[in-house]
Amino acid sequence: MSNKDAVGVLIVDDQEMVRGICRQVVESLGYQAFQAESASQALQIIEQQPVDLVLADIKMPGMSGIELLERIKAGNPRIEVIVMTGYASVPSAVQAMKLGAADYIVKPFSSEEMKVLLTRLAETLDLKDENRYLRERLRSRHALGQLVGQSQQMQQVFKLIQRVAPSRAPVLIRGESGTGKEVVARSIHETGPWRDKPFVPVDCGALAPTLIESELFGYVRGAFTGAVHSKEGLLQSAEDGTLFLDEVAELPSELQTRLLRAIQEKEFRPVGGTKRIPVDARILAATNRDLEAAIRQGSFRKELYFRLNVVSIALAPLRERKVDVPLLAEHILQRLAASQPDSRRRVRWSIASEALDRMLAYDWPGNVRELENCLERAVTLGSGPLIRAADLPSNVQSPVSAASTDFPESVIPLEEMERQAILRALAGAGGDKMLAARLLGIGKTTLYRKLQKYQQKG
């Protein structure tokens, strides 16, 4: 039989009779059987056939079943191994389990016993495959490059990124601090056809105004005291690639004018230089400021705004898309774990459900960056691969609701506060009622009842 989707079982035993019994069982279950007389033959078959599971005798001439197990696990840990052993060598079965065998069976065994064992294991195998499949599917739909998110808002952002990435159109990325503006900029660059070209970030807020000009446009020798060599500017290093103007609202006014001219004319003059240098870089810009207000106040040039804002991507604050919290936390956690200097911390971390509940109830004023800091603290200070509520910063552990910090102008009826809380939770959960109920700390049925009540009231 050659059913491509069937579980492939490789039977390794030097005794033909044992192989015969096993083969019968394997085939009666609808799996595909492969046979080997020795461990070395088994290794050859594994390289050529779709083997998911190995039934290996421990005591064989030549390479033992234990060594075979070690080699399989080293080369392809996905393959499960069951060892078959005589009464006399149960201790080696124990050793095999320590080395990663899925189970063991003591010889002589009946076909019925073998059938039970295989059925049970195949179920877990199927399950694992299913999980892997789901994870990958989820990832592809809920991720773009380094960005993850399953909220409607983030799905919209993914679509926009994919639309703008192939073009050279400038994009203005907006959002509160820590919402992921820089990751979005990098994703645009990495999704597009110029991904092999440089991505050059310029932090307009961090550089002293006097420095930005020479950093951005470069300078020629003797342009100012101390300019002993000429230096290429960031704009020029982004040639053919992407220039990312982070915190663009902080750019001093004269520089806004110079930058606008450079973008429009696709050429510029380094500080102190006379020669014009052509440049072709894609411009991405980000800000957490209200640029329209800055224009009204005269601190941001309208023409530059129009030039940068050809396409605009707005990132919602995390509190308005709390459905993303579990996915983001998982993503960030695995990234953090992988970069731990201590190998004991480079494991698969997870979050206890009470901790996740607190994280879902919290408002995250610092957005994804705050979530990241919170997880980093938990991974660094926590004891094990499980993050508990106690590992979270105290403000996350017991969030003070925004309403209670404001001095009440007038008293709001309890029922109205409840209604608002429910509507906010639903919006934050992207309409997911299960999650909304969790955010509110009430049961799903309670939420349904309350929703029904509001609907009746209109």
User: For the chain, first and last CA: distance in Å?
Assistant: 64
Structure token digits, residue 180: 């992921």
Of the pair 83, 147, the CB lying nearest ligand ATP is at 147
Rounded to whole angstroms, how far apart are CA atoms 387 and 311?
Answer: 40
242 sits near ligand ATP (criterion: CB under 6 A):
no
317 binds, among ligand ATP, Mg ion, none (CB under 5 to 8 A by kind): none
Rounded to whole angstroms, how far apart are CA atoms 316 and 318?
Answer: 6
What lies within 8 Å, CB to CB, of 92 at 6+ separation is 58, 66, 83, 85
- Using only C-alpha atoms, the chain has a radius of gyration, in whole angstroms, of 31
Of the pair 182, 213, the CB lying nearest Mg ion is at 182
317 sits near ligand ATP (criterion: CB under 6 A):
no
Rounded to whole angstroms, how far apart are CA atoms 299 and 291?
Answer: 9
Q: Footprint of ligand ATP on residues 256-295 (CB under 6 A)? A: 288
369 sits near ligand ATP (criterion: CB under 6 A):
yes
Q: Where are the alpha helices (DSSP H) in 283-343?
A: 291-296, 302-308, 324-338
**How many Cβ atoms from other residues are within 10 Å of residue 172's Cβ?**
22
Of the pair 27, 190, the CB lying nearest ligand ATP is at 190
How many residues belong to the site for ligand ATP (CB under 6 A)?
Answer: 18
The site string for ligand ATP over 148-167 (x = CB under 6 A, - otherwise) reads xx------------------
DSSP 323: T
| Separation of CA 100 from chain center | 29
Chosen residue from 19, 301, 331, 438 binding ligand ATP by CB under 6 A: 331
Q: Which stretch binds ligand ATP (CB under 6 A): 66-74, 251-259, 296-304, 367-375?
A: 367-375
Q: Which stretch binds ligand ATP (CB under 6 A): 60-68, 124-132, 133-141, 179-187?
A: 179-187
The owner of tokens 């980000």 is: 286
175 sits near ligand ATP (criterion: CB under 6 A):
yes
329 binds, among ligand ATP, Mg ion, none (CB under 5 to 8 A by kind): none
372 sits near ligand ATP (criterion: CB under 6 A):
yes
What lies within 8 Å, CB to CB, of 185 at 6+ separation is 171, 173, 199, 201, 242, 244, 246, 284, 286
Query: Residue 316 Cβ, how far from ligand ATP at the closest point, in Å?
Result: 11
Phi-psi region of 143 (alpha: psi -120 to 50; beta: other; left: phi over 0): beta
21 binds, among ligand ATP, Mg ion, none (CB under 5 to 8 A by kind): none
Q: Footprint of Mg ion on residues 179-198 (CB under 5 A)? A: 182
Q: Kindly list the residues in this chain that would bind ligand ATP in the complex (CB under 6 A).
A: 146-149, 175, 177-183, 288, 328, 331, 368-369, 372
Q: Kindly list the residues in this chain that would bind Mg ion in the complex (CB under 5 A).
A: 182
